[in-house]
Amino acid sequence: MSAPTYWQPEAECLERGELEQLQLERLEATLSRAYRNVPFYRRSFEAAGFDPDEFRALDDLRRLPFTTREDLAANYPYGLFAVPLRDVVRVHASSGAASGAAVIGYTRNDIRTWSNLVARGLVAAGVTKDDVVQVALEYGLFTGAFGIHDGAERLGASVIPASSGHARRQIRMMQDFKTTTLVGTPSYALLLADTMAELGIDRNALSLRHGVFGAEAWSEPMRAEIEDKLAIGATYHYGLSEVMGPGVAGECLQHRGLHLAEDHFAVELVDPATLEPVRPGERGELVLTTLTREAFPVVRYRTRELTRLLDGPCPCGRTSLRMAPVDGRSDDAVVVRGMTVFPAQIEAELRELEGTDPRWQLVVELRGALDEATVLVEVSDAIFFDEMRRQAELRDRIERRLASELGVLLKVKFVQPRSIGSAAGGGRWVVDRRSR
């Protein structure tokens, strides 16, 4: 029995003209719903002199203001919902959780669309209903795990909600449950491969065939390493919580870029400095507008993620635009173990903690395959030379606080006043020593 090539062939292989007509209709509906139901969009449309009833062509979208992460945070928690809370069946939050997070709502239809889009991406990556899918992503407010979970279940695969961490337990599950598909971050896949090597487990003793990875920037050499060490085919998957979660774009087995779900998202690529569209083939910042989201429509969301758009037909038969894997950001955020960390968040937390000086620096390095992030914090001489126990207490308190607010574990190391030197003064809050 040959596996189906597409999950929703009628949508995935839609002729370009029909696709653009569909986008136009859905965009009109989205803009008018956002205008009617979300005060933020009403104000921003009016300020731009934009009347949704006069929307005629896809290019009219460019007349609208962008929506930023700060806009989402300013409307925390439910200010951008376009439906009453009683119609919302799920709530997630963007990476970074708690303060300053975007809270995203889903209606029942939104959840159905989401799971179908994830299923599309999984099918494109070669996954079928006969597969056993191990979801090695953190289950919680973040969209990754639940999004993949629902999509794999919709596809009819057997889903193992393994969550993240506990490498040995993950490997045990892969062996015992005969996992065929691993979903997680690429660096975690490498960690699992290295742990298997340490334990003397032969990669060929596993049933693993596919790996679908995302949530952090990675590269072709890393793909080759994962494929070699785990004896699998690895594909890129892309999504972000602010517009939905996973399922926004997924690579097919041709490995010619990630197919964007253009029937559900209008895609723009802009120069992050001028905010003008980049020329075809040029690198730019991805800007997305949702076309079907009911609870949480987002208009011209600046993802801050840098990519290139690839057009021309893909041999797989899908007609959508494709994007190159994300290879950077246009802001100062840094992705640590699949979580987006903003320097401003660390700054805000440190300012609230008594006894710490706001001079600090985040150093991200690779330890084996995994990111290791350390926040260097300047403390007063009194604290620096204080007894070890009290120093350790303060350090633990800061680590716990950062972990609970940012959703990722950062080590904290105290340093003496003025020891961070010119780096902080030069605006380099983040020193990224990883090279992938």
Residues that bind Zn ion (CB under 5 A): 252, 254, 314, 316, 318
Backbone angles phi, psi at 212, to 5 degrees: -120, 115
Question: What is the Cα–Cα distance from 78 to 84, expressed in whole angstroms?
Answer: 10
CB of 318 to Zn ion, least distance (A): 5
* CB-facing half-sphere around the CA of 396: CA atoms within 13 A: 6
CB of 252 to Zn ion, least distance (A): 3
Structure tokens at 201: 């487990």
CB of 248 to Zn ion, least distance (A): 15
Bridge partner residues of 277 (DSSP): 270
- 213 or 236: CB nearest Zn ion: 236
Q: Are 94 and 221 a contacting pair, CB within 8 Å?
A: no
CB of 253 to Zn ion, least distance (A): 8
- 92 or 318: CB nearest Zn ion: 318
CB of 255 to Zn ion, least distance (A): 9
Sequence-ordered alpha helix ranges (H) in 125-268: 143-155, 167-176, 186-199, 220-230
In the chain, the amino acid numbered 97 is A
Sign of the alpha-carbon torsion through 142, 170, 123, 283: positive
- 120 or 304: CB nearest Zn ion: 120
- 12 or 305: CB nearest Zn ion: 12
CB of 322 to Zn ion, least distance (A): 7
Sign of the alpha-carbon torsion through 133, 325, 17, 270: positive
- 6 or 78: CB nearest Zn ion: 6
Q: Are 375 and 431 a contacting pair, CB within 8 Å?
A: no
- 253 or 423: CB nearest Zn ion: 253
In the chain, the amino acid numbered 324 is A
CB of 128 to Zn ion, least distance (A): 17
Closest C-alpha among 364, 278, 285 to residue 327 = 285
Q: Are 88 and 107 a contacting pair, CB within 8 Å?
A: yes
Question: What is the Cα–Cα distance from 135 to 148, expressed in whole angstroms?
Answer: 7
Question: What is the Cα–Cα distance from 421 to 72, expressed in whole angstroms?
Answer: 34
- 8 or 391: CB nearest Zn ion: 8
- 315 or 427: CB nearest Zn ion: 315
CB of 91 to Zn ion, least distance (A): 33
Question: What is the Cα–Cα distance from 48 to 390, expressed in whole angstroms?
Answer: 55
CA angle 321, 326, 327 (to 5 degrees): 135
CB of 254 to Zn ion, least distance (A): 5
- 12 or 71: CB nearest Zn ion: 12
